[in-house]
Amino acid sequence: MTDITDSTDTRTGWLSDHELEQSRERLPIVYVDAVPVRIDSRGQVSHLGLLLRMMPDGSISRALVSGRVLYGELVRDALLRHIEKDLGPLALPRVPPSLQPFTVAEYFPDPSVTGFHDPRQHAVSLAYVVPVDGECSPSANALDLVWATPDEAAGPSVSAEMTGGQDRLLRLALAHLELLP
């Protein structure tokens, strides 16, 4: 959930940066979070994709694919757009046919409310696991992309490098996949 992501969004013309900032102080914002995964031919997850990102405060953090749903945009299309923006146009995401999210992450400016934290806004995020079949390359917004095994993703070193509660969201995804140790 980076500023960079959102200035890209606002360049589409739906909302100026100033207007978006104002709305963010008044309304919860609709978000999607995606955990990109590599699966084998049996559908079993072998690796989870983690971006490396410059955060608003200048720190660098591992992160999931995350961004807002635009006015008039379907959740399915927002998922595709954010995955392709972060993983490149050849990622071939396999958005699931049902959009029942595995969880709803509620991000607040106050980190103590739910543990999901976004200093800029109150966001209600629908979270999905999305297999990607194609070539993934970190986009301009991301510094790097690594593929972690389920055990690595559940481990303390990945956790230490993620902020805003996204390490917890990753563990909720691992649990949903029955891959949490």
Of 26-45, binders to a second copy (CB under 8 A) are 26-30, 37, 39, 42-45
Considering only 14, 60, 134, 137, the residue that binds a second copy (CB under 8 A) is 14
Nearer to a second copy, 59 or 100 (CB): 100
Q: What number of chain residues touch a second copy (CB under 8 A)?
A: 56
Residue type present at position 126: L
Q: Is 178 in the site for a second copy (CB under 8 A)?
A: yes
Q: Is 54 in the site for a second copy (CB under 8 A)?
A: no
Q: Is 111 in the site for a second copy (CB under 8 A)?
A: no
Closest CA to 128 of 41, 71, 48: 48
Considering only 56, 111, 119, 131, the residue that binds a second copy (CB under 8 A) is 131
Nearer to a second copy, 26 or 140 (CB): 26
Query: What are the backbone dihedrals phi and psi of residue 65, each rounded to the nearest 5 degrees, phi first?
Result: -75, 130
Minimum distance, C-beta of residue 67 to a second copy, in the bound complex (Å): 13
For the chain, give the secondary structure using H, E and C. CCHHHHHHHHCCCCCCHHHHHHHHCCCCEEEEEEEEEEECCCCCEEEEEEEEEECCCCCEEEECEEEECCCCCCHHHHHHHHHHHHHCCCCCECCCCCCCCCEEEEEECCCCCCCCECCCCCEEEEEEEEEECCCCCCCCCEEEEEEECHHHHHCHHHHHCECCCHHHHHHHHHHHCCCCC
Q: What binding mask, one character per residue, do residues 60-89 give for a second copy by CB under 8 A, x or -?
A: ---------xxxxxxxxx--x---------
The contact set with a second copy (CB under 8 A) reads 14-15, 19, 23, 25-30, 37, 39, 42-45, 69-77, 80, 94-104, 106, 108, 113-114, 122, 124, 126, 129, 131, 168, 171-172, 174-178, 180-181
